[in-house]
Structure 1
């Protein structure tokens, strides 16, 4: 088909289905082309990068270093707002702003820790599945080797061993010696 013929076919198609409409009135979608991306009002983010960040934060929140620094910060905050000159204090007793900051930190820390735990659970599940498959392969290999060893033991009963051959050769040697003696005794008479 030439380029002109293809162009004529496209023109005929456009006349039959103007603006890509179908019998149902919906626009015709082309299956040979990807859909245009929809615009979203929500911000987009890289889930993997966010997950790694949440794991790092959760790992830090679970350290003694975090506890020490948080304790130092709270003690400094309270001491400053108790003993500093009144015009330099930003959070007077009962330290409402400090309570707000700690609540905000906790409200972000809890979901980040849960996200990190979920990612760890997913990794553990994959590792468990891989371990299970490896164990199945090991069991199958062990069963195969057990059958092979059993077959070798059965066949070994039919194989001449070194000790058996040695005893047979000794018996033959005795028999040959006896024949020589018998022949030697028979000549001497």
Structure 2
């Protein structure tokens, strides 16, 4: 029996394909390459790069090379594994350098990414600080303007002293008043 055929929009027939369901995950595919955690690999490369940049690494590398050279020069001929031109040593140092360079570059890239994130956070923090400073500046200016209109103790004291002088001058000019009824009748009209 032939497989079912269905018409495509152009009129051609095609073999029926299994319908892909969007509400269900696809089955796992077999992987050819092994999987690894990129973050863990990055942390390991940073540790190696940090170690390669220390004096301890240089001392250990020097000790290993010196032992290698001494062994291959001074050991009996049948125990030497890398005779005089030290080709195997050159190969090992090249291999170490070929792995060290990409690990160092990977560590630098990760550090650059962290620096970029930190720089962005610092920039946002600076923007917030500037906005806060501008807000506080406006508030202080508003307070100063408001304080310019507030009566201070010295201003009230000077106003009271002026009033006391005015009262004293009126007493001297009008004379002592014992009872308010003694005042002239027209004076009430002015006080209103």
Is this a same-fold pair by TM over 0.5? yes
TM-score bracket, normalised by the shorter chain, equals 0.7 to 0.9
Correspondence for 2:163: 172
| Distance in structure 2 (CA, Å) of the matches to 1:75 and 1:54 | 27
Correspondence for 2:100: 109
C-alpha contact 1:57 1:112 (8 A) present in aligned 2 = yes
Residue 135 of structure 1: how far off its partner (Å): 0.8
| Distance in structure 1 (CA, Å) of the matches to 2:105 and 2:35 | 21
For this pair of structures, how many residues does the alignment match? 168
Larger Rg over CA atoms = 2
Correspondence for 2:184: none
The answer to whether structure 1 residue 74 and structure 2 residue 65 are counterparts is yes
Structure 1 or 2: more helix by fraction:
1
CA RMSD of aligned residues (A): 2.2
C-alpha contact 1:81 1:91 (8 A) present in aligned 2 = yes
Higher relative contact order structure (alpha carbons within 8 Å, sequence separation ≥ 6):
1
Q: Which runs of 5+ in 2 are unaligned?
A: 9-13, 179-192
**Tell me, what secondary structure is at the counterpart of 1:154?**
helix
Q: Which runs of 5+ in 1 are unaligned?
A: 1-17
Correspondence for 1:4: none
Please report the TM-score for the alignment, with normalisation by the length of structure 2.
0.79
TM-aligned CA distance change 1:66 to 1:31, over 3 Å: same
**Tell me, what secondary structure is at the counterpart of 1:66?**
helix
Correspondence for 1:141: 132
C-alpha contact 1:22 1:28 (8 A) present in aligned 2 = no
The answer to whether structure 1 residue 39 and structure 2 residue 30 are counterparts is yes
